[in-house]
Amino acid sequence: MANHKSAEKRNRQSQVRRVRNRANRTRMRNAIKAVDSAIATGAQEDAQTALKTAIPVIAKTASKGTIHKKNASRRVSRLTKRVNKMQAAA
């Protein structure tokens, strides 16, 4: 438990950041799951629209510092590759 005034403030700030980061990460994961489910069902149009909505969500999560910039780039790249691969197969 924090004993100093500054440590108590730091604890409060950490809790607020943890909740905010968790919400951002959850939003990002749900967007990625939407793309994954569209790919699994084979719906090309749904996968494309889900990808277009997921990319800004992933970028925003990185800009807020919840995930690293290169992590976001890697996720977008892999999702895009999978959607393109599904469209090429059809």
pLDDT average, residue stretch 36-53:
96
**Which stretches does DSSP call E strand in 1-90?**
none
pLDDT in tens, 17-30: 999 999 999 999 99
Map out the domains of the chain as residue ranges.
5-89
Average pLDDT in the chain: 96
Long-range contacts of 38-43 (CB under 8 A, 24+ apart): 39/82, 39/83, 39/86, 42/86, 42/90
Length of the chain: 90
Q: Is the pLDDT of residue 52 over 90?
A: yes
pTM of the predicted model as reported, rounded to 2 decimal places: 0.90
Domain formed by 5-89, architecture = Up-down Bundle (1.20)
Q: Is the pLDDT of residue 1 over 80?
A: no
Phi, psi of 64 (to 5 degrees): -80, -10
User: How many Å apart are CA 84 and CA 81, to the nearest integer?
Assistant: 5
